[in-house]
Amino acid sequence: MLSTRSSKASEMRAIMVRDLVKVYRSKKRVVQALRGVTFDVGRGEFFALLGPNGAGKTTTTKILATLLLPDGGRAEILGHDVVEEADEVRRLIGWMEGETGGRSLYWRLSGRDNLRLFASLYGIHPRDAEVRIRALLRFFDLEDAADRLVKDYSLGMRIKLCLARALIHDPEVLLLDEPTLGLDVQSAQKVRELLMILAREEGKTIFFTSHNMFEVERLADRVAVINRGRIVFVGTPEELRRRMERVKVVRVTLVSQEPSEVLARIASLSVVRELAGVTRRGDITVVRVIVDDPYEAISELARALRGMRVERIERELPSLEEAFLRLVFGGPPGPEFAPHARREPPPGWEPCPS
């Protein structure tokens, strides 16, 4: 009974990662890229792996794509070990690395020739490949540029071509590293729609990494957050956000008011635990404070600021980005955890492109 249940569970899993360890060794230093990464991705699931630069996202993706051997632990794609059954895994996956801006294409070949070559390397007969290539080029608006050399493509066009290449053999699992990085708004939207349909209607499993929280929030069924080679969170985007709600923030928006005067009044209140940040844009001043009881704090703040031009006092719900930053960088949600309240990003963080 137990074994039946366990085999059913493995049937439901598209990706299984257990205690994955990867160490990069060079003469000068040793870098522990993954320190026991564990997670599962269900069939047909849209799964996002988040983390700051150097956290281990790309290393994890490369191991799943059979392009890097782990030093410990194991990973399976649809029940096939990525090390022992690499050939079978390669049949099942479509890999795309958007981070490098489509460098992995043959730049001195046309877009069509690139797709022809990779279709054949995936084992698709040339006759079938032509039909697929036409449909992919049409979908990604690359028909007119199909016979131009890739070196003359824009960044967005190259990324679309990379995505077309990843899809050409109709893989069960898509491993996408920053799939929409560098795409214009319209193209990115189109790609997201396609990925949604592939996951929701076609049952494809999509594993992707992204710095774009808007994208993650819209697409992902579940997210994992990786930091310094360790998974620090696995759950739904909603669960990630809810984690942050334990820290209660109230935001006060004022018009034509001297911040120093406002801060003096707010700081004197016993309901305010900590000042989280102050921003001023034009004649609008926004003050964010951490409190224990937001409802009591709102009425106290309203009383204390009487006579001032207060536009709004409200409880602030954390964005997914804030929740992510708090998880990764730790500490109380000071200005560095509220990107809207500060112009400088925290150390090690690169702003998302769109």
Partner 1 sequence: MSELIAVLRSRTTREAGVVTRLWLLFITRAKIVASYRVQFALDVLGIVLSTLQYYFLAFLVSPAELARLGYGTSYFVFAVIGIACSRYVWMLTGAVVNWVWHDIMAQTLAAVVATRTDVKLYFLSHALWAATWASLWFVGVIAVALPLGFTAKLSLAGVASLVLVLVLLVVVHAAIGILFGAIAVKHKQVDVLSFLLAALIDMLGGVIYPLSVLRKYEPLYYVALCLPFTHALECARAIVIRGATLASPELLPHVVALLASLVLVPLAFRAVDHYVRLALRDGDLFAY
Residues forming the site for partner 1 (CB under 8 A): 24-25, 59, 62, 65-69, 87, 90-91, 93, 95, 97, 100, 103-109, 113, 116-129, 131-132, 135-136, 138-139, 149, 165, 167-168, 170, 193-194, 197-198, 201-202
CB of 24 to partner 1, least distance (A): 6
Between 200 and 280, name the residue whose CB sits nearer to partner 1: 200
For residue 64, the Cα-to-chain-centroid distance in whole angstroms is 17
Between 90 and 288, name the residue whose CB sits nearer to partner 1: 90
CB of 13 to partner 1, least distance (A): 21
Question: DSSP readout, 295-335?
Answer: HHHHHHHHHHTTTS-EEEEEEEPPPHHHHHHHHHH-SS--G
Burial class (CB in 10 A: 0-12, 13-18, 19+), 141: middle
Between 114 and 227, name the residue whose CB sits nearer to partner 1: 114
Residues sharing a CB contact under 8 Å with residue 330, sequence separation 6 or more, in sequence order: none
Between 157 and 266, name the residue whose CB sits nearer to partner 1: 157
Between 148 and 243, name the residue whose CB sits nearer to partner 1: 148
CB of 12 to partner 1, least distance (A): 22
Distance CA 140, CA 74 (A): 36
Between 110 and 257, name the residue whose CB sits nearer to partner 1: 110
CB of 192 to partner 1, least distance (A): 12
Distance CA 245, CA 248 (A): 6
Residues sharing a CB contact under 8 Å with residue 190, sequence separation 6 or more, in sequence order: 140
CB of 136 to partner 1, least distance (A): 7
For residue 211, give the nearest of 37, 348, 318 by alpha carbon. 348
Between 49 and 195, name the residue whose CB sits nearer to partner 1: 195
Distance CA 266, CA 284 (A): 17
CB of 27 to partner 1, least distance (A): 12
Distance CA 194, CA 200 (A): 10
CB of 217 to partner 1, least distance (A): 22
Q: How many CB atoms lie within 10 A of CB 5?
A: 9
For residue 33, give the nearest of 56, 61, 6 by alpha carbon. 56
Q: With contact defined as beta carbons under 8 Å apart, do 178 and 209 qualify? A: yes
Q: With contact defined as beta carbons under 8 Å apart, do 204 and 46 qualify? A: no
Between 219 and 297, name the residue whose CB sits nearer to partner 1: 219
CB of 93 to partner 1, least distance (A): 8
Distance CA 40, CA 224 (A): 10
